[in-house]
Amino acid sequence: MGEVGGTMFYHDDELQYEVEVEEPNPQFAKMLQQAIGGAEGEMRVALQYMFQAFAIPAEKQEMRQFLMETATEELGHIEMLATAVSKNLEGASDEAREAAREDAVIDEMMRSGQPRQALSAGLHAMPVDSNGVPFTGNYVVASGNLAADLYANVMAESTGRLLATRLYEFTTDPGMKDMLEYLIARDTMHQNQWHAALEALGEHRPVPNSFDQSKENQEYNYTFMSTAHEERENPEQPWTQGEAPDGKGEF
Amino acid sequence: MGEVGGTMFYHDDELQYEVEVEEPNPQFAKMLQQAIGGAEGEMRVALQYMFQAFAIPAEKQEMRQFLMETATEELGHIEMLATAVSKNLEGASDEAREAAREDAVIDEMMRSGQPRQALSAGLHAMPVDSNGVPFTGNYVVASGNLAADLYANVMAESTGRLLATRLYEFTTDPGMKDMLEYLIARDTMHQNQWHAALEALGEHRPVPNSFDQSKENQEYNYTFMSTAHEERENPEQPWTQGEAPDGKGEF
Amino acid sequence: MGEVGGTMFYHDDELQYEVEVEEPNPQFAKMLQQAIGGAEGEMRVALQYMFQAFAIPAEKQEMRQFLMETATEELGHIEMLATAVSKNLEGASDEAREAAREDAVIDEMMRSGQPRQALSAGLHAMPVDSNGVPFTGNYVVASGNLAADLYANVMAESTGRLLATRLYEFTTDPGMKDMLEYLIARDTMHQNQWHAALEALGEHRPVPNSFDQSKENQEYNYTFMSTAHEERENPEQPWTQGEAPDGKGEF
Amino acid sequence: MGEVGGTMFYHDDELQYEVEVEEPNPQFAKMLQQAIGGAEGEMRVALQYMFQAFAIPAEKQEMRQFLMETATEELGHIEMLATAVSKNLEGASDEAREAAREDAVIDEMMRSGQPRQALSAGLHAMPVDSNGVPFTGNYVVASGNLAADLYANVMAESTGRLLATRLYEFTTDPGMKDMLEYLIARDTMHQNQWHAALEALGEHRPVPNSFDQSKENQEYNYTFMSTAHEERENPEQPWTQGEAPDGKGEF
Amino acid sequence: MGEVGGTMFYHDDELQYEVEVEEPNPQFAKMLQQAIGGAEGEMRVALQYMFQAFAIPAEKQEMRQFLMETATEELGHIEMLATAVSKNLEGASDEAREAAREDAVIDEMMRSGQPRQALSAGLHAMPVDSNGVPFTGNYVVASGNLAADLYANVMAESTGRLLATRLYEFTTDPGMKDMLEYLIARDTMHQNQWHAALEALGEHRPVPNSFDQSKENQEYNYTFMSTAHEERENPEQPWTQGEAPDGKGEF
Amino acid sequence: MGEVGGTMFYHDDELQYEVEVEEPNPQFAKMLQQAIGGAEGEMRVALQYMFQAFAIPAEKQEMRQFLMETATEELGHIEMLATAVSKNLEGASDEAREAAREDAVIDEMMRSGQPRQALSAGLHAMPVDSNGVPFTGNYVVASGNLAADLYANVMAESTGRLLATRLYEFTTDPGMKDMLEYLIARDTMHQNQWHAALEALGEHRPVPNSFDQSKENQEYNYTFMSTAHEERENPEQPWTQGEAPDGKGEF
Ligand SMILES: [Ca+2]
Ligand SMILES: [Ca+2]
Ligand SMILES: [Ca+2]
Ligand SMILES: [Ca+2]
Ligand SMILES: [Ca+2]
Ligand SMILES: [Ca+2]
């Protein structure tokens, strides 16, 4: 029966990447929360890749490890961003925080729609998005079908990189820009790695490709259906004519 | 100033596709709820495509209409599935429902963990998933970036088709199989049409491609980072060597 | 078995009512979100009437159509309000948005507690309320009992019209006032139509009227119970004396 | 400055109404949860009337007290139902609960989709609905407009009484029937009292009646708009012709 | 069968403590919402103690009453804070509220990320937190195990008092300071009373103490496990050496 | 500026503890979900300790590491339990899953109120609780005050160990018992370590102890307030007389 094989996750005191903030900015701290606990954030990808890995059977160990190693990397991104939030909320000394009434940082925090950051979290990161809505397990897609999961990952890294580039435009702080240049680079890599894994799957569309397509209704599986109130001509778009991308039908 | 230009959405009394159930099955009604109000369901895609369409500027009218027409089609799928839920819960006459104690169908409903369907909805469809968790706006991805949105749509139709094929395996009812053959066919089409639209975008990766990649940290944007506790050799996988799928880097 | 009878919902490119904004105002965009994804908003009524219609049996076709036609109209209101949100967030050109740091509109958006609108949605409408809380299926009331549903509709249109009149007071923009004058008018109509339908039901109180009232505890069904800590005299209010509104008891 | 005026709420050890269960039934316990923490439940009405009362200005003391006394009564209903849940889950002695594996009652609980009741709450009531979804502040309607609030209350008591009568049909236990006869009677009273209060308001429609109706769009405020895909004749229903119920327009 | 034993909860018109506000401050109103509907707020403790009381068997009447009396006191705190919210949002007369465009209070409300307070609640208290996120039954801990519940209560009063002292630092209003001095005092008492009850339980650790500890894995129940990536020496902390606080093991 | 210091988290392929299941039991799989994504589960403690660690200033490195190392250990517990869920749902081969209709295990899953586990997750672990309600960031307590956080941790480990011991009673599977004996042992340790840390803080009550207690209302900070409807005598309980546990007052 069960034997102890060492712990499964490990932590290193050093940050994956050093996070510095030159001019603390509570507005930016609030925005960074989207990248922690939001639909496009790091908690989502960390947990999504983790639960996807949990579903990979033992005989596909390489894929399981691939997903788990990336999940583990994303845990480090949560820590980087949490550090960035704290540093953007700094400005009052540790003691002065409880007596914070005249503090400009806290005042700004209060005015800007994320008061819980001061009231509930003492000016630190929280598992919520930039509107203060808590992270939810609903964000996690782990379907038990690898192709569907990989598309979910492509999407998560696409909206995640979009968010990071938007954050990049909102800051002039060199430390924050540096951190985001790193995170955006990792998103570039992660988008590419999930695409590479999809390509390695070979022919996999339509997802799931285990379903016998001859059972599909053959009249409707490659036809664009217009729902325009007034009938209109075929707009001759790539989705109304020509070969379907899955190579299995003609629009 | 504003002038009335007619209403925007229209409804037809006839169902998009006739829904028939030979043997009502409350267990299956519960499962069908996943396809209505679940993360992979029709409410999600209908609203997702609608909000994406809202974000398309007027000068890209063809794309806006493409998204909106598919959104509109998905509204019809909600109605089909809602009809299927009601028909699977039938078996007691309309009057007998309030005095339902001895009804075998309702008894089964009660045993199966979705009691709200009887208690709150009088044995009809609800905007909840198969576990009874309410639909949430959080499921909707409408990022304002077309490529990111199209990947979100590919993913939604992939998990959606996966769900429909799983439902297909859980039923032997010819009416339900027929309905699902139609819905699966539409999912095939929708997967293909979003892929076609992505291809039509041309070179769009990494998403968003408007961000100047020379600003990314150049050391980390095309490198797989291992987080294995014990160092290990390059596993020589498609994501650790070779050209990156976006054609802009080498792993 | 199933035959295709055309699609069920249709869409028209023209807006139900032309929406114009003279002076974009991101604060007002945020407020308008309440009317899209809030408890009093258009998503709620559109889906509520739709799910109520789904529950109407075939033999009451006129009532089903009544509910569905109004649901369909409300879908158009979502589109109007989404257009209004986008137009209130305009001001930066399409390209300038990604490089938005110095943009006054985005700055205001960021300060005002709805940063997700820029970060997650590229300055467009979202299925959330004015505090950024996502729409939930919990808002939808579709009980399977027509009288209960109609009261839910009266209530939804009452709080909806209240919201619209409050929004009306917060804007001086002639385009926004014009749109709200239209939406408020429709709320007036919808309140009236649900009242008319209740009247047409005839004697229906207490809801549900199918329950045999002789089974109720006869001592407590028409008596106001005071829970005041100090006993007090009958305040001689309409709810402590006289005939009960349902005509079936005496207080 | 502030002076202590005694506590505001008081509690009595005696139950408002004695709750007895002859044959414990865990299935019914699960259903009763809908009446505690569900959209139609007692937590909702207790908190709804309480928050409505909080919004009544001091000079309308009689109305404030009316709402607060009913809110207070509803708190007692939560306690009654919680007692009913516990008694329906009894059957194992207090000690035996932790070693419950062979207990038939707990086994049934486990099978029936509400395992948290055993796992998280030790077989007692929880602030969740019959599907296990937690109570949410979103259920509470307290708009600051008395007429809108009273319609919300009519609706809450209508769906609440509907739920109670459905629960009544699911049980043969004389204790449970007795308790429900009492709660249904109170719902009858509460429906009537809110209707009485609406009548006492006099002319209040359309809600809110403080908005100057001459500002409404006069073309659309009393017209039924058909959204049928195929044009159709006026169905000559009470909502398409005749005087509007608010007495202020003609359909 | 059941007999009426009077209502269970009672209400007194007088506030538990008179609440006064000298200078209305909508920013502070928003913060106070955290103490009403937030994770650390009064709705949570009122309902938590109430559901815990519901789970106490009849033969432990003194403990049940202890929990219920404190629950009842907390209901009064909700009312105090709701009064404080209303008074901080006052400044416009009752009539002027609907025509509020130029009102400074409302303008501030709108800017500050809690627009629902004006739009949905007419400038009154809501069952939401300071970010506008609705109260959820998920906050309530009522485990059916008294020791676990008492620790949950110690925690709730610790974070609750922390919140109240933070609110105290954000205000200079003498009325608000006076109210908070009272509420903080009550939190001091409540922390102490739950600790006193824990002490009265005697030896109760580890919770639950009904589980036979000899069944625990004896190698791991009193050993600190390091998950540091680089092995490190025993830091000689109170949790890595010496006697364990439960007196049942040695670290 | 920033330099890469290695990744922050690492993962080991070996499970922290080998998880074995002799007789797959889908009912138990569902129950185990409570220990993954429930209020008392491992996701909560992993994230709670992590966010608490993020808030510890650099100069208190030992405490930060203490919290982070335990957070990291809890991540491993998620993996153990996810493995246990998968193994309890096994029984059909990998291929047979999509064609699962006749599978007894899946049939049981479907009956038991967690259909999403098959429909959305292909019979694997999900970030939801045993009722299917998704994990929420709301469960995480990280207040920025160490004493408050440690009490939150004592509470989390108390309800967590209670849950684990209840799960222990529901299984006879030797593999599951073995795993739970390990997890219960770790909960014993974690309860003790947080108590040890609280003791090491020295005098810290009432929490927060940075607030000047002379500002509290001195009449009410050490007095039990009865809210009994009928006045009653001092029950002479530990919380109504004697010295308060914080040593700073007399009841
Ligand atoms: Ca990342
Ligand atoms: Ca579809
Ligand atoms: Ca409308
Ligand atoms: Ca009631
Ligand atoms: Ca309190
Ligand atoms: Ca653990």
Q: What is the pLDDT of residues D148-159, one digit of tens each?
A: 999 999 999 999
pLDDT for res D103:
66
Q: Report the candidate in B38, B39, C193, D145 with the shortest Cα–Cα distance to residue E120.
A: D145
Q: Which of E30, E39, E219 sits opposite A120 (nearest CB)?
A: E39
Average pLDDT over residues A145-164: 98
Interface of chain C toward chain A, CB-CB under 8 angstroms: 4, 7, 9-13, 98-101, 106, 110-116, 118-120, 128, 131-134
Task: Give me ligand 2 centre to Cα F124, in Å.
Answer: 25
Q: Which of D39, D130, D165 sits opposite B115 (nearest CB)?
A: D130
Q: Which ligand is nearest to the CA of A156?
A: 1
Residue A72's identity, in one-letter code, is T
Task: Give me ligand 4 centre to Cα D44, in Å.
Answer: 9
Q: At what angle do helices B104-111 and D26-37 cross, to 10 degrees?
A: 70
Length of chain E: 251
pLDDT band at A25 (very low <50, low <70, confident <90, very high): confident
| β-strand partners of C134 | C128
Average pLDDT over residues C93-101: 45
pLDDT digits (tens, 9 = 90+) for F100-134: 545 667 666 666 677 888 899 998 999 999 999 99
Q: F248 pLDDT exceeds 60?
A: yes
* CA–CA gap between residue F169 and residue E51 (Å, rounded): 24
* CA–CA gap between residue C227 and residue C69 (Å, rounded): 45
- DSSP character string of C235-251: ---TTTSSB-TTSS-B-
> Which residue intervals of chain C bear CATH 1.20.1260.10?
26-131+141-201
Non-local (6+) Cβ contacts of D37 within 8 A are D43, D126, D127, D128, D129, D134, D135, E137
Q: Does domain C26-131+141-201 have CATH number 1.20.1260.10?
A: yes
C185–D62 C-beta distance less than 8 A: no
pLDDT for res E110:
61
pLDDT band at F251 (very low <50, low <70, confident <90, very high): very high
Q: C7 pLDDT exceeds 70?
A: no
Q: Which chains border F (3 or more CB–CB pairs < 8 Å)?
A: A, B, D, E
What CATH code would you report for F26-200? 1.20.1260.10
pLDDT for res E156:
98
Task: Give me ligand 5 centre to Cα D159, in Å.
Answer: 32
pLDDT for res E111:
64
Task: Give me ligand 1 centre to Cα A81, in Å.
Answer: 10
**Is pLDDT larger for residue F91 or for residue C125?**
C125
Which residues sit with Cβ closer than 5 angstroms to ligand 3, an ion? C 74, 77
Average pLDDT over residues E109-136: 86
Q: What angle do CA A117, A121, A125 make, to 5 degrees?
A: 70
* CA–CA gap between residue C5 and residue C59 (Å, rounded): 19
In chain D, the N- to C-terminal Cα span, in Å, equals 57
Alpha-carbon dihedral sign for residues D15, D18, D22, D26: negative
| CB crowding D129-146: b at 16 or more within 10 Å, else e | bbbbbbbbbbbbbbbbbb
- DSSP character string of A166-204: HHHHT---HHHHHHHHHHHHHHHHHHHHHHHHHHHT-S-
State the count of interchain CB pairs (< 8 A) between D and E: 219
In chain F, the N- to C-terminal Cα span, in Å, equals 57
Q: Which of B12, B115, B134 sits opposite D34 (nearest CB)?
A: B115
Non-local (6+) Cβ contacts of C60 within 8 A are none
Compute how many other C-beta atoms are within 10 angstroms of the C-beta atom of residue B106: 24
What HEC string does chain D produce?
A: CCCECCCCEEECCCCCECCCCCCCCHHHHHHHHHHHHCCCCHHHHHHHHHHHHHCCCHHHHHHHHHHHHHHHHHHHHHHHHHHHHHHHHCCCCCHHHCCCCCCHHHHHHHHCCCCHHHHCCCCCCCCECCCCCECEHHHCCCCCCHHHHHHHHHHHHHHHHHHHHHHHHCCCCHHHHHHHHHHHHHHHHHHHHHHHHHHHHCCCCCCCCCCCHHHCCCCCCCCCCCCECCCCCCCCCCCCCCECCCCCCEC
Q: Report the candidate in B97, D132, B31 with the shortest Cα–Cα distance to residue B106.
A: B97
Query: Which pair of structure tokens corresponds to residue A79?
Result: 């820590």
Q: A70 pLDDT exceeds 70?
A: yes
Q: Which of E4, E118, E128 sits opposite C166 (nearest CB)?
A: E118
Q: Report the candidate in D159, D157, D160, D146 with the shortest Cα–Cα distance to residue D190.
A: D157
* CA–CA gap between residue C38 and residue F237 (Å, rounded): 48
C113–A170 C-beta distance less than 8 A: no
D129–B113 C-beta distance less than 8 A: no
Token look-up 């789970």 returns E55
Q: Which of A186, A193, A222 sits opposite B192 (nearest CB)?
A: A222
Which residues sit with Cβ closer than 5 angstroms to ligand 5, an ion? E 74, 77
Q: Residue E250 in 3-state DSSP?
A: strand
* CA–CA gap between residue F184 and residue F170 (Å, rounded): 14
D205–C191 C-beta distance less than 8 A: yes
Q: Confirm if D191 and D154 have CB atoms less than 8 A apart.
A: yes
pLDDT band at B1 (very low <50, low <70, confident <90, very high): very low
C131–E133 C-beta distance less than 8 A: yes
- Return the residue of B nearest to C181 by Cα: B2
| β-strand partners of D243 | D250
Enter the DSSP assignment of A70. H
Q: Confirm if E157 and E194 have CB atoms less than 8 A apart.
A: yes
Q: Which ligand is nearest to the CA of E7?
A: 4
Q: Report the candidate in C12, C17, C13, C15 with the shortest Cα–Cα distance to residue B10.
A: C12
Q: Report the candidate in B207, F66, C211, E115 with the shortest Cα–Cα distance to residue A153.
A: B207
Q: Which ligand is nearest to the CA of B193?
A: 2
Q: Report the candidate in F228, D14, D68 with the shortest Cα–Cα distance to residue E14.
A: D68
Q: C235 pLDDT exceeds 90?
A: no
Q: Which of A20, A57, A72 sits opposite F2 (nearest CB)?
A: A20
Q: D174 pLDDT exceeds 60?
A: yes
Task: Give me ligand 1 centre to Cα A43, in Å.
Answer: 9
What element of type H or E holds C177? Answer: helix C174-201
Q: C101 pLDDT exceeds 50?
A: no
**Is pLDDT larger for residue B170 or for residue F187?**
F187
* CA–CA gap between residue D162 and residue C147 (Å, rounded): 10
What element of type H or E holds C10? Answer: strand C9-11
Q: D131 pLDDT exceeds 70?
A: yes
Non-local (6+) Cβ contacts of A59 within 8 A are none
> Which residue intervals of chain E bear CATH 1.20.1260.10?
26-201
Report the percentage of chain E scoring pLDDT > 70: 88
> Which residue intervals of chain A bear CATH 1.20.1260.10?
26-200
Q: Which ligand is nearest to the CA of D44?
A: 4
- Return the residue of D nearest to C168 by Cα: D211
Which residues sit with Cβ closer than 5 angstroms to ligand 2, an ion? B 74, 77
**Is pLDDT larger for residue B106 or for residue D234?**
D234
Q: Which ligand is nearest to the CA of B79?
A: 2
* CA–CA gap between residue E61 and residue E173 (Å, rounded): 42
Q: Does domain D26-201 have CATH number 1.20.1260.10?
A: yes
pLDDT digits (tens, 9 = 90+) for E54-82: 999 888 999 999 999 999 999 999 999 99
Q: Which of F12, F112, F119 sits opposite B166 (nearest CB)?
A: F119
Chain D hits for B134, Cβ within 8 Å: 133
ipTM score assigned to the predicted complex: 0.94
E119–C38 C-beta distance less than 8 A: yes
Q: What angle do CA B11, B14, B16 make, to 5 degrees?
A: 85
β-pairing, A9-11 vs C9-11, is unpaired
Q: Which chains border C (3 or more CB–CB pairs < 8 Å)?
A: A, B, D, E
- Region at A236 (left for phi over 0; alpha for psi -120 to 50; beta for the rest): left
Chain C hits for B83, Cβ within 8 Å: 54
pLDDT digits (tens, 9 = 90+) for E147-156: 999 999 999 9
Give Rg (Cα) of chain A.
23
* CA–CA gap between residue C141 and residue D38 (Å, rounded): 12
pLDDT digits (tens, 9 = 90+) for A182-192: 999 999 999 99
How distant is the Cα of E125 from the closest Cα of chain D, in angstroms? Answer: 7
Give the CA diameter of chain B: 71
pLDDT digits (tens, 9 = 90+) for B104-126: 676 666 666 778 888 999 989 99
